[in-house]
């Protein structure tokens, strides 16, 4: 296990108005997730979702090299970290009601790549790469994790990453859809802030409803009646009336999420 040092911290939550940011704060360990971090992150996700003022969550790492190296390999070896424990975190992030942006400050490895795929949108940086070396370690991902790769990237790219243990560079990540935009490291914060601001300005009920319906459609678990209720709630919302009024008056809308 990589020893903890003075610069090593648990993940932290930074809130600023309508945008919250979760920061993985162990750059010396490539922001690897330890077993104790899982409960911290689950609590942070609960806190973000419970805050009615937050409309967007950004997930990022600290340091210039790595977004996240996934689960601590040392703790996987000792049994302190398990695949099921890590999947509980990935599943919770993927189920978050709010739209999520992964601001990939560097490369993603193993479970770190899965955490990125749990987010709705991903911004990467030139010079980064993604690699999932599970097959090199003798590890088979749980079904939920494998499904996530297929849903997000398609069977072909998922096979390259997981079965072939292939590394993808930043440009390949953009082409295959692992990231939706590439910027220089110096531009990442500004690009992330701009995207998060654009998402926060959208009608929250509509964004959250479509996120949920799209996720269920991708998984083949759509509840037609539940989806219909979400659509009808948006149609009856004051946000829709505000959006139409603002468009007619030529001004930005002021959505309230109601």
Q: What is the mean pLDDT of residues 214-226?
A: 93
Report the b/e string of 105-132 with b at 16+ CB within 10 A.
Answer: bbbbbbbbbbbbbbbbbbbbbeebbbbb
Maximum CA extent, the chain = 63
* Same-domain status, 194 and 220: no
The answer for residues whose C-beta is within 8 angstroms of residue 118's C-beta and 6 or more apart is: 90, 93, 94, 100, 102, 148
Query: Taking 70 as the threshold, does the pLDDT of residue 4 lie above it?
Result: no
> pLDDT over 70 for what percent of the chain?
97
In a domain, 170, yes or no: yes
Say yes or no to pLDDT of 199 above 50.
yes
Stretch among 3-7, 11-15, 20-24, 113-117 having the lowest mean pLDDT: 3-7
H or E stretch including 21? Answer: strand 19-24
Please check whether residue 102 lies inside any domain of the structure: yes
- If asked whether residues 196 and 210 sit together in one domain, one would say no
On whether both 51 and 97 belong to a single domain, the answer is yes
Q: What is the dihedral of CA 142, 146, 147, 151, to 10 degrees?
A: 160
Shared domain check, 61 and 184: yes
CATH number for 18: 3.90.226.10
Domain span holding position 117: 12-200
Instruction: Say if 3 falls within a structural domain.
Output: no
Please tell me whether residues 43 and 162 are part of one structural domain. Answer: yes
Say yes or no: 191 and 242 in one domain. no
Q: What is the pLDDT of residue 3?
A: 31
Q: In whole numbers, what is the pLDDT of the chain averaged over residues?
A: 94
Domain shared by 216 and 95, yes or no: no
| Interval 224-254: pLDDT, tens | 999 999 999 999 999 999 999 999 999 999 9
**Do 214 and 187 reside in the same domain of the chain?**
no
Domain presence at residue 241: yes
Residues in contact with 211: Cβ distance below 8 Å, sequence separation at least 6, in sequence order: 97, 99, 120
What's the total number of domains in the chain? 2
pLDDT digits over 38-77, tens only?
Answer: 999 999 999 999 999 999 999 999 998 999 999 999 999 9
Residue 211: is its pLDDT beyond 80?
Answer: yes
Q: What is the pLDDT of residue 7?
A: 57
């Amino acid at each position: 296990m990589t020893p903890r040092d003075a610069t090593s911290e648990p993940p932290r939550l930074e809130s600023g108005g309508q945008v919250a940011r979760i920061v993985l704060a162990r750059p010396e360990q490539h922001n690897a997730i330890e077993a104790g971090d899982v409960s911290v992150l689950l609590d942070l996700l609960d806190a973000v979702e419970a805050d009615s003022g937050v409309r967007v969550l950004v997930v990022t790492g600290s340091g210039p090299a790595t977004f996240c190296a996934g689960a601590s390999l040392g703790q996987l070896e000792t049994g302190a970290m398990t695949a099921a424990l890590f999947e509980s975190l990935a599943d919770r992030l993927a189920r978050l009601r709010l739209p999520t942006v992964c601001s990939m400050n560097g490369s993603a490895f193993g479970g770190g790549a899965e955490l990125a795929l749990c987010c709705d949108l991903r911004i990467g940086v030139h010079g980064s790469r993604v690699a999932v070396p599970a097959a090199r370690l003798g590890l088979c991902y749980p079904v939920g994790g494998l499904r996530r790769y297929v849903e997000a990237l398609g069977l072909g790219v998922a096979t390259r990453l997981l079965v072939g243990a292939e590394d993808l560079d930043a440009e390949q990540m953009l082409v295959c859809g692992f990231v939706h935009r590439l910027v220089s490291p110096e531009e990442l914060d500004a690009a992330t802030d701009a995207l998060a601001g654009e998402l926060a300005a959208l009608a929250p009920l509509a964004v959250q409803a479509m996120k949920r319906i799209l996720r269920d459609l991708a998984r083949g678990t759509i509840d037609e009646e539940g989806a219909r209720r979400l659509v009808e709630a948006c149609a009856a919302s004051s946000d829709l009336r505000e959006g139409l009024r603002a468009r007619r008056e030529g001004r930005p809308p002021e959505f309230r999420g109601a």
